[in-house]
Amino acid sequence: ISVLFLTLLLLFLALFPGAFDCCTKISDEIPKGILRRVERFEIQKADGLCHLEAVILHIKGKKFCVNAQNRKVKKMMKKMKHKIHRSKSHVRKQRRTRITKQKEQKQ
C-alpha cells in the first residue's frame, strides 16, 4: 500500500508541479525596506489549488507572502507596473527620435 501511495504522490507532483508553491500563511505587515527591494511579484488567487488570496514578493531568490489588501503592497505593485510601462514607452520614443533625426540628416 505504501508503494502505491508513493507512486501516486510522485505522479501528482509530476503533473502539478506548482501545487505546493501556494502561500499558506500571509503577513499583514511588511517593512518598507523589503518593499524597496522587490524584484517582481505574483498575485495568487484564492481558487484552484491555492485557497488563499495573496501577493508573492520575490526578493533575491526568496519569496514573501503578504496580504493582497495591504495598502503599501498595492502602492508598490502600482509603481512597479508604472515603471515597466513607462520605461518601454520611453525606449520607443528614443528610437523614433533617433530614426527621425537620421532621416533629417540624409535629406
Q: Residue 30: give its domain's CATH number.
A: 2.40.50.40
Number of folded domains in the chain? 1
Percent of the chain residues past pLDDT 90, beyond the cut: 30
Write down the pTM of the prediction: 0.59
* For range 36-42, the mean pLDDT: 92
Q: Does some domain include residue 91? A: yes
Position 3 in a domain: no
C-alpha span between 2 and 18 (Å, rounded): 24
Look at residue 40 and tell me if it is in a domain. yes
In a domain, 92, yes or no: yes
Share of the chain above pLDDT 70, in %: 64
